[in-house]
Every structure is written in C-alpha cells, then in structure tokens.
Structure 1
C-alpha cells in the first residue's frame, strides 16, 4: 500500500451476521443486511428464483415512472402523450399448450390449423399499490377488457370478471384478487396470487383442462412455469364466450 494511504481497520463481524448474507458497509463502520436486487425474489415452495425482467421494468416505468410513484392513473392523450395501454402476451406452458376461452374458462390446449385463431392472449398492467420489485401484475384477457380473478371467497377460485384492467389500475384499493406476482427465471415465468400467497397459476398435463391455482407446484404434474411472447397489439378476438 502506498505511503500516506490510510489503513482501514476491519470491522468485527457481529454474531447475527456470521454465515449470513450481511455485508460490511465499508467506511460507515457497521454491518448491514444485503438488499436483494430489484426483481430478485424467491417464491416460497416454488423452485424458481426470479431475476430482473427488462420487459417488466419497461412496463412499470411506463405506468409508474422510474421511481415507481408520481403517476396515479392512465393518461388519456394529455400533453401530447399517448395513453398507456396494457402489455399483451402469448402464453405457452412448458408442454407448449396455449390458452383459449371455453364456456367462460381459460383452458390449456393444443391448437392447430384454423383453431389457432382461438388462442387467447393475456394482458397485464401493474398494481401500483403493491411491492414493485415483485412485479405485481393485474392480469386479464380480451385485450384487457376482462380480468382474471381469484374470487372473493376464503379459498381461491379462478374466474373471469368483466372489469377492464385500466379501471383496476386506477382503483385506490381492492385489486389484490386480480393481481399476480410474476417471477422470471431467465427463460420461463410463474405467477403467484397476491391474495393467496403460495398459490400459482397452473395447467394440467392433459390438454383441455382449465387454468387453475395450485399450492403444490409440480404435484400430480401441475405445470406452473410458462413461456411468454409479447405482442404489440392483440389480434381481433372472436365473440365473447
């Protein structure tokens, strides 16, 4: 070490920090717990570790601003700015099944040929009242005109409600049942119900089964990881079912 350079006295490791994720806070002379990077979460009971998702960062920046506050409702063409709109995604589970709407339920199935037009995209906007780093998404279908809900009962019951996502975004409170925390592994995504922690969107191994919620990822073949492909705008959809 060069002459004149002060020698930093190591800060003793406190007992509570030994063997943990704590870090030396350097010149401040004390130890502090490590803070996870934005978007890094581990869902209890779920095998995936979430990493930062650039697409979600863009969505949240667009709706909430860089710091996640200061924007309270969708702007409608004011000050020359385009109104914010939901992001839309094609969804496939890891068995390559897609979603379609049948008798008011989202069903995971294999669509080929002319039936491919029945594929249902999901639409998402942020829930501005929940922890941003966990990517809380209000999820819907039909271009964001209808919302996916966990229901209002004591047990989760996946259903579709006729309320637009942008309306839910503007609510002061109460949108938790429409909200799912999205984790990203770097290739696949999972969705945990905000109103029912530990319950994840899932598909069954057999085609034709309804999208559901499970508290036991992987049990009985339940698939809780999905591939997403963003669409700039949803294609026209068939009449409501």
Structure 2
C-alpha cells in the first residue's frame, strides 16, 4: 500500500504538522523545544518565589500567592530536563567553584539550551519520580539534589546529603493547567 501518494497523505502531513516528533530538527540543526509549565512545592507545602533576584521557598498566602514562580520545563530525554522560571528566560544551573557547589539563576533562554553542548550540562537535571513526589539531581554534578531548607523563606539550593532531615529534596511537581 502506497501511503505517500494515497488518500491518507494529507492526513499524515497534517498529523506530523500538529504533533512534531521530538527528534525533529529546525533548519539550524536544533531540536524543537516544547516548553511545559509546572507548579512545584516541597513536601512541607513551601512554594517557590523570587526575592531579591533569588529563588526562595516559603508559605505564600492571600495576595502573596501571585508571587509563586511556575517552573518552565523542557524535556531533553526520558528523565533529563532543563528547568527555568519567568517564561524560560531564567534557568536553574548547578555551578562548581572550587569546593563550593551552588544553584544559581542564569539569564538564558531555556529553548536555546541543548543537551549536546557540554557547556549546557550545568542546566540539566535528572528527574526521578517516586510515587507522588519528584527529586531533581544535577546531571553536571551527580549526587547533588535540588532542595529547600526546613525554615520558610530560605533560598532554594543544592545538597549532597538528601537523607539529612534539615533539607527537603522531595517535591510535588504538577503540570500547570
């Protein structure tokens, strides 16, 4: 059966246009990036928000709920993702400077990142779902996980001791409707 020239060719073309493959490439050679928006909060119900250009986790109530930062996600394979905020204009990155490991926000467009470029690895997180919760491990610095402090209104950071009771590494991660 010759599908390409048959009566279904227009339907197949339409479906490919509406649902592009993640393997599809732009003329520039970059993959198509479909950004998704998620809500994130830790198991203690603290949500993420910006304070003085720093991502922090705290309890937002009343009018302050408008401060909640949604997490912009670009999946790059079955478990690896790029994470950003502010419409994908600020991306979370894991940076090692000497013995210091820190999480920082970088002014980079999330859809311009590529898993093939070594310099973009610092933006890559391994997403692991365990029941209703999710953890995010740095791909650039294995063993370091996205975390919040037990106290409210503290910076979102990284830890290499996810079992320690003073840090929270388990998050509820839900696609924003």
Length-normalised TM-score, structure 1: 0.59
Structure 1 or 2, whichever has the larger Rg, is: 1
C-alpha displacement of 1:207: 0.4
State the number of aligned residues: 155
User: Could you tell me which residue of structure 2 aligns to residue 89 of structure 1?
Assistant: 38
Name the CA distance, whole Å, in 2 between partners of 1:97 and 1:114: 16
The one of 152, 160, 163 aligned to 1:218: 163
The structure with the greater share of residues assigned to helix is: 1
Gap runs ≥5 in structure 1:
1-60, 76-83, 233-241
Mark the CA change 1:119 to 1:171 in structure 2 (over 3 Å): closer, same or farther. same
- Conserved 8 A contact 1:139-1:147: yes
C-alpha displacement of 1:170: 7.8
Q: SS in structure 2 opposite 1:195? A: coil
Matched, 1:141 2:141: no
Mark the CA change 1:152 to 1:204 in structure 2 (over 3 Å): closer, same or farther. closer
Matched, 1:121 2:70: yes
User: Could you tell me which residue of structure 1 aligns to residue 30 of structure 2?
Assistant: 73
Matched, 1:156 2:105: no
User: Could you tell me which residue of structure 1 aligns to residue 52 of structure 2?
Assistant: 103
Matched, 1:230 2:165: no
- Conserved 8 A contact 1:202-1:223: yes
After superposition, the CA RMSD in angstroms is: 2.1
Name the CA distance, whole Å, in 1 between partners of 2:163 and 2:37: 27
Name the CA distance, whole Å, in 2 between partners of 1:147 and 1:153: 18
C-alpha displacement of 1:206: 0.8
C-alpha displacement of 1:220: 4.0
Name the CA distance, whole Å, in 2 between partners of 1:177 and 1:195: 5
Gap runs ≥5 in structure 2:
1-18
Matched, 1:64 2:22: yes
C-alpha displacement of 1:156: 1.9
Name the CA distance, whole Å, in 2 between partners of 1:184 and 1:170: 21
Q: SS in structure 1 opposite 2:141? A: coil
Structure 1 stretches of at least 4 aligned residues deviating more than 4 Å after TM superposition:
none
C-alpha displacement of 1:152: 5.0
